[in-house]
Chain A
């Protein structure tokens, strides 16, 4: 018994130590990010911490500047379009992988999720080489395609996971009841994998929203994304507008992660209900 106890519960003091360590790690990781938030509301003209007074001037500066707002618009466009593309292709790929057997399947899976594994800089250099030949450098289309490739693995992984919980017999049932393959997908499979698709979409959007490396290589000087504009801004002028933009980026990412978590809980509840 005593042996079991030592294995099962490491005792009160040990768990306090563990908690303390975890808290330290969190503080170490999160605090630098949080520092930009008060700075963004600073009334000072310089990046300084702690800020002396409160003002929204840097947010005003951000919204008044065409450079910044056009970068925001590019980011939103690229994010939304890339997400759509990644969702359509990723869901189709996940379906094909889940519902059919063919030689070299593992190889195809590896190939499709490789953008998640290959260092982004390698991907960026490769894309730049190809895009230069295709004259896609600096175009929104090029950016969308590249970001879709970045988001595709997330969609494939989340949709595949959801598909595994959807009984193939439901699709057979739909077919036996007169549904064409497309209508079986639309009326049966898709509603059941929707939480997975949504989760994949959010992750794909975040992948695009956060990307700076690929954008640096292939988006044009005029049509850069928000992270790229920040990168360039940091090198020339250092003013608290960057902090305001950073706060915006963090807020959007955080909001999306929150939505993701809500979706996950909802889907867990739904599948629980199905099983019960």
Chain B
């Protein structure tokens, strides 16, 4: 790698950004700060406002209200070409009529740099993404991974103060994604880049980001490190969107300072840790599939239930089970795969989970996170608390 530039990424601040499209609100009062050299991902389903936010930062969509600051200076009224922001587009948007060299040289030519300087910088950028010898190819002669690298080189060659990425790895196959994730992270650290990335892919978000902002309906549901978001999701939406969750609706039966007993709509009682939301009201529960364990004879947990295995999906390193418990609830359980096989379809098993595996949220209604229809009411069976 040639000498890296002396410039480091700039801090970015979004202040009360809002975008209305007609009567619908695409982005609603969005404020967040991205530190210099930080990798922040906007994660959310389509229609959550993450792409609109990116377009507002880039300058292709004018916010209805609010301001974008880069290095403390407002840029909201600048045209896109004056913003000094590198963008890696979805599907890369390489110029098909220009060779790789000219694609990467494009931003320097637009800045009227002398030819010698351009040659030197392009060589640096292509080396950076390990494509030093492909300068004379056309984009359509490259593989998807190589096109991705050219897009990255082109966005970095003019040393922008900020790098935006739109679903950067979405079009690559799985192996290539993993390699590119590593490369991206390495580059971002080496060049001290500030990166704002937009994706709907939770795995991409978890592996790349310093912090993730989970977006829904134009708002940030939760902002935090990948670990915080996964371990302590603050809303059912985050619990369901990031990783898998068993979502259940329940009512608080009784409580003390450290625990509470709740009963699900289908009549499964369970102990939950922590201060459940105050009041007698209804609550929503979320349990990570990997926090539910199969129990041997005589083993005990805070919550135990008998179950029948309805479905087994072998994932390689893990196995995903769909269980039905006598009360009629359906539970997803994920366990590490064992040589020789674990429980099989139709087996009667006993499962258990600790009180602190249950995340409790105020509010009524079960959100079906895993996309399953609500299980049919079956019998009057009752789980043990």
A residues apposed to B, CB below 8 Å = 167, 169-170, 172-181, 183-184, 187-188, 191-192, 270, 273-274, 276
On whether the beta carbons of B97 and A175 are closer than 8 Å, the reply is no
On whether the beta carbons of A273 and B140 are closer than 8 Å, the reply is yes
Contacting residues, chain A, for B84 (C-beta < 8 A): 178
A-B contact pairs, 23 of them (CB 8 A): A170-B96, A172-B58, A172-B80, A173-B87, A173-B94, A175-B59, A175-B60, A175-B79, A176-B83, A177-B81, A177-B86, A177-B106, A178-B84, A178-B111, A179-B81, A180-B110, A181-B81, A188-B95, A191-B97, A273-B96, A273-B138, A274-B96, A274-B140
On whether the beta carbons of B96 and A176 are closer than 8 Å, the reply is no
Q: Within the assembled complex, what's the spacing in Å between the Cα atoms of A188 and B79?
A: 18
On whether the beta carbons of B107 and A177 are closer than 8 Å, the reply is yes
Q: Within the assembled complex, what's the spacing in Å between the Cα atoms of A175 and B111?
A: 12
Closest Cβ–Cβ distance, residue B8 to chain A (whole Å): 20
The tally of CB-CB contacts under 8 A between chains A and B is: 71
On whether the beta carbons of A172 and B97 are closer than 8 Å, the reply is no
Contacting residues, chain B, for A175 (C-beta < 8 A): 59-60, 79-81
Q: Which of A169, A176, A274 contacts B80 (CB 8 A)?
A: A176
Q: Which of B138, B140, B158 contacts A177 (CB 8 A)?
A: B158
On whether the beta carbons of A172 and B60 are closer than 8 Å, the reply is yes
Contacting residues, chain B, for A276 (C-beta < 8 A): 140
Asked whether B154 is an interface residue with its Cβ less than 8 Å from the other chain, the reply is yes
Closest Cβ–Cβ distance, residue B297 to chain A (whole Å): 60
Q: Within the assembled complex, what's the spacing in Å between the Cα atoms of A183 and B79?
A: 14
Q: Which of B79, B93, B111 contacts A172 (CB 8 A)?
A: B93
Contacting residues, chain A, for B87 (C-beta < 8 A): 172-173, 176
On whether the beta carbons of B93 and A187 are closer than 8 Å, the reply is no
Q: Within the assembled complex, what's the spacing in Å between the Cα atoms of A144 and B348?
A: 88
On whether the beta carbons of A174 and B106 are closer than 8 Å, the reply is yes
Closest Cβ–Cβ distance, residue A170 to chain B (whole Å): 5
Give the B interface residue count (CB, 8 A): 29
**Which residues between 329 and 362 of chain B lie within 8 Å of chain A, taking CB atoms?**
none
Q: Most chain-A Cβ atoms within 10 A of its Cβ — which of B79, B90, B96, B155?
A: B96
On whether the beta carbons of B89 and A178 are closer than 8 Å, the reply is no
On whether the beta carbons of A169 and B91 are closer than 8 Å, the reply is yes
Interface SS of chain B: loop
| 8 tightest Cβ-Cβ pairs between the two chains A and B | A177-B107, A178-B110, A175-B80, A173-B93, A169-B93, A274-B96, A176-B87, A175-B81
Q: Which of B58, B83, B90, B106 contacts A187 (CB 8 A)?
A: B106
B residues apposed to A, CB below 8 Å = 58-60, 79-81, 83-87, 89-91, 93-97, 106-107, 109-111, 138, 140, 154-155, 158
On whether the beta carbons of B93 and A170 are closer than 8 Å, the reply is yes
Contacting residues, chain A, for B94 (C-beta < 8 A): 173
Kindly list 8 other residue pairs between chains A and B, CB separation below 8 angstroms, not including A175-B80, A180-B110, A183-B110.
A169-B91, A172-B87, A172-B93, A176-B87, A177-B155, A181-B81, A192-B96, A270-B96
On whether the beta carbons of B154 and A177 are closer than 8 Å, the reply is yes
Q: Within the assembled complex, what's the spacing in Å between the Cα atoms of A276 and B80?
A: 30
Contacting residues, chain B, for A273 (C-beta < 8 A): 96, 138, 140
Q: Within the assembled complex, what's the spacing in Å between the Cα atoms of A187 and B109?
A: 11
Question: Closest B-chain residue to A275, C-beta based?
Answer: B140
Question: Closest A-chain residue to B89, C-beta based?
Answer: A169
User: Are A173 and B96 CB-contacts (below 8 A) given A178-B111, A273-B140, A276-B140?
Assistant: no
Contacting residues, chain A, for B110 (C-beta < 8 A): 177-180, 183
Contacting residues, chain B, for A187 (C-beta < 8 A): 106, 109
User: Are A178 and B93 CB-contacts (below 8 A) given A172-B58, A173-B87, A187-B106?
Assistant: no
Q: Within the assembled complex, what's the spacing in Å between the Cα atoms of A183 and B95?
A: 14
Q: Within the assembled complex, what's the spacing in Å between the Cα atoms of A84 and B109?
A: 29
Q: Most chain-B Cβ atoms within 10 A of its Cβ — which of A177, A184, A192?
A: A177
Q: Which of A173, A176, A178 contacts B95 (CB 8 A)?
A: A173
Question: Closest B-chain residue to A170, C-beta based?
Answer: B93
Q: Within the assembled complex, what's the spacing in Å between the Cα atoms of A181 and B110?
A: 11
Closest Cβ–Cβ distance, residue A133 to chain B (whole Å): 43
Q: Most chain-B Cβ atoms within 10 A of its Cβ — which of A175, A176, A188, A270?
A: A176
Contacting residues, chain A, for B96 (C-beta < 8 A): 170, 192, 270, 273-274
Question: Closest B-chain residue to A172, C-beta based?
Answer: B60
Contacting residues, chain A, for B86 (C-beta < 8 A): 176-177
Q: Within the assembled complex, what's the spacing in Å between the Cα atoms of A273 and B107?
A: 24
Closest Cβ–Cβ distance, residue A167 to chain B (whole Å): 6
Q: Within the assembled complex, what's the spacing in Å between the Cα atoms of A173 and B58?
A: 10
User: Are A170 and B95 CB-contacts (below 8 A) given A177-B154, A183-B110?
Assistant: yes
Contacting residues, chain A, for B83 (C-beta < 8 A): 176
On whether the beta carbons of B140 and A176 are closer than 8 Å, the reply is no
Contacting residues, chain A, for B93 (C-beta < 8 A): 167, 169-170, 172-173
Q: Most chain-A Cβ atoms within 10 A of its Cβ — which of B59, B86, B91, B93?
A: B93
Q: Within the assembled complex, what's the spacing in Å between the Cα atoms of A178 and B85?
A: 9
Q: Within the assembled complex, what's the spacing in Å between the Cα atoms of A187 and B106?
A: 9
Q: Within the assembled complex, what's the spacing in Å between the Cα atoms of A177 and B96?
A: 16
Q: Within the assembled complex, what's the spacing in Å between the Cα atoms of A172 and B60?
A: 8
On whether the beta carbons of B97 and A178 are closer than 8 Å, the reply is no
Contacting residues, chain B, for A188 (C-beta < 8 A): 95
User: Are A192 and B111 CB-contacts (below 8 A) given A169-B89, A172-B80, A173-B89?
Assistant: no
Q: Within the assembled complex, what's the spacing in Å between the Cα atoms of A181 and B60?
A: 12
Q: Within the assembled complex, what's the spacing in Å between the Cα atoms of A174 and B58?
A: 12
Closest Cβ–Cβ distance, residue A158 to chain B (whole Å): 18
Contacting residues, chain A, for B107 (C-beta < 8 A): 177-178
Closest Cβ–Cβ distance, residue B265 to chain A (whole Å): 47
Contacting residues, chain A, for B97 (C-beta < 8 A): 191-192, 270
Q: Within the assembled complex, what's the spacing in Å between the Cα atoms of A276 and B147?
A: 12
On whether the beta carbons of A180 and B58 are closer than 8 Å, the reply is no
Q: Within the assembled complex, what's the spacing in Å between the Cα atoms of A177 and B88?
A: 11
Q: Within the assembled complex, what's the spacing in Å between the Cα atoms of A184 and B79?
A: 13
Contacting residues, chain A, for B90 (C-beta < 8 A): 169
Q: Within the assembled complex, what's the spacing in Å between the Cα atoms of A183 and B110?
A: 8
Q: Within the assembled complex, what's the spacing in Å between the Cα atoms of A270 and B98?
A: 12
Question: Closest B-chain residue to A176, C-beta based?
Answer: B87
